[in-house]
Amino acid sequence: KSDSDTYSCDIGDAQTRAKLTVQEAPVLFKQELQNEEAKEGKQVRLTCELSKPGTPVKWMKGDTVLYASEKYEFKQHGTVAELIIRDVKSVDA
Protein backbone atom coordinates (compact mmCIF):
# COMPACT_ATOMS: atom_id res chain seq x y z
CA LYS A 1 0.00 0.00 0.00
CA SER A 2 2.89 2.38 0.77
CA ASP A 3 4.00 2.10 -2.88
CA SER A 4 0.83 3.94 -3.99
CA ASP A 5 1.92 7.27 -5.52
CA THR A 6 2.47 9.11 -8.79
CA TYR A 7 5.47 7.92 -10.78
CA SER A 8 7.13 9.73 -13.68
CA CYS A 9 9.65 9.07 -16.41
CA ASP A 10 11.63 12.11 -17.63
CA ILE A 11 13.65 12.45 -20.84
CA GLY A 12 14.94 15.98 -21.19
CA ASP A 13 11.95 18.29 -21.60
CA ALA A 14 9.42 15.46 -22.03
CA GLN A 15 7.75 13.69 -19.14
CA THR A 16 5.14 11.01 -18.67
CA ARG A 17 3.29 10.28 -15.43
CA ALA A 18 1.23 7.44 -14.06
CA LYS A 19 -0.61 6.97 -10.79
CA LEU A 20 -0.18 3.62 -9.04
CA THR A 21 -2.86 2.54 -6.57
CA VAL A 22 -2.12 -0.61 -4.60
CA GLN A 23 -5.15 -2.37 -3.16
CA GLU A 24 -4.49 -4.15 0.10
CA ALA A 25 -5.21 -7.86 0.20
CA PRO A 26 -7.95 -8.70 2.71
CA VAL A 27 -6.85 -10.17 6.02
CA LEU A 28 -8.12 -13.73 6.41
CA PHE A 29 -7.86 -16.41 9.07
CA LYS A 30 -5.24 -19.03 8.18
CA GLN A 31 -6.21 -20.89 11.35
CA GLU A 32 -9.46 -20.18 13.18
CA LEU A 33 -10.14 -20.43 16.91
CA GLN A 34 -10.73 -23.95 18.23
CA ASN A 35 -13.20 -24.97 20.95
CA GLU A 36 -11.54 -25.53 24.33
CA GLU A 37 -12.47 -27.14 27.63
CA ALA A 38 -10.88 -26.24 30.94
CA LYS A 39 -11.28 -26.91 34.64
CA GLU A 40 -12.19 -24.03 36.93
CA GLY A 41 -9.17 -22.16 38.25
CA LYS A 42 -6.98 -23.10 35.30
CA GLN A 43 -5.67 -20.95 32.47
CA VAL A 44 -6.86 -21.19 28.85
CA ARG A 45 -5.07 -20.01 25.70
CA LEU A 46 -7.12 -19.28 22.57
CA THR A 47 -5.07 -18.90 19.39
CA CYS A 48 -5.79 -17.91 15.81
CA GLU A 49 -3.50 -17.26 12.85
CA LEU A 50 -3.98 -14.40 10.39
CA SER A 51 -2.86 -14.06 6.79
CA LYS A 52 -1.05 -10.77 7.46
CA PRO A 53 1.37 -10.04 10.35
CA GLY A 54 0.75 -7.13 12.68
CA THR A 55 -2.98 -6.89 11.92
CA PRO A 56 -4.85 -5.30 14.85
CA VAL A 57 -7.08 -7.83 16.62
CA LYS A 58 -10.13 -7.17 18.81
CA TRP A 59 -11.04 -9.95 21.24
CA MET A 60 -14.66 -10.29 22.33
CA LYS A 61 -16.74 -12.48 24.63
CA GLY A 62 -20.18 -12.53 23.06
CA ASP A 63 -20.90 -8.87 22.26
CA THR A 64 -18.49 -7.53 24.90
CA VAL A 65 -15.06 -6.22 23.89
CA LEU A 66 -12.31 -7.58 26.14
CA TYR A 67 -9.52 -5.40 27.53
CA ALA A 68 -6.17 -6.41 28.99
CA SER A 69 -6.44 -7.01 32.74
CA GLU A 70 -5.44 -9.50 35.43
CA LYS A 71 -8.05 -11.81 33.85
CA TYR A 72 -7.20 -11.35 30.14
CA GLU A 73 -3.83 -11.14 28.43
CA PHE A 74 -3.33 -10.55 24.71
CA LYS A 75 -0.26 -11.56 22.72
CA GLN A 76 0.54 -11.17 19.06
CA HIS A 77 3.61 -12.63 17.38
CA GLY A 78 3.71 -12.04 13.63
CA THR A 79 0.56 -13.66 12.27
CA VAL A 80 -0.43 -15.45 15.51
CA ALA A 81 -2.86 -13.79 17.94
CA GLU A 82 -3.47 -15.22 21.42
CA LEU A 83 -5.94 -14.60 24.21
CA ILE A 84 -4.97 -15.95 27.62
CA ILE A 85 -7.79 -16.25 30.15
CA ARG A 86 -6.59 -16.74 33.72
CA ASP A 87 -8.43 -18.41 36.58
CA VAL A 88 -11.38 -19.55 34.44
CA LYS A 89 -14.80 -19.74 36.04
CA SER A 90 -18.10 -21.12 34.74
CA VAL A 91 -19.13 -17.57 33.73
CA ASP A 92 -16.20 -17.54 31.27
CA ALA A 93 -17.86 -20.25 29.14
The residue extents of the domains of the chain are 29-85
Please tell me the predicted confidence (pLDDT) of residue 57.
95
Architecture of the domain spanning 29-85? Sandwich (2.60)
* 3-state class (DSSP) for residue 92: helix
The confidence score (pLDDT) of residue 24 equals: 87
Residues lower than pLDDT 50 in the chain: none
pLDDT score, position 49: 97
Three-state DSSP state, 78? coil
pLDDT value, residue 2:
86
The DSSP code for 13 is T
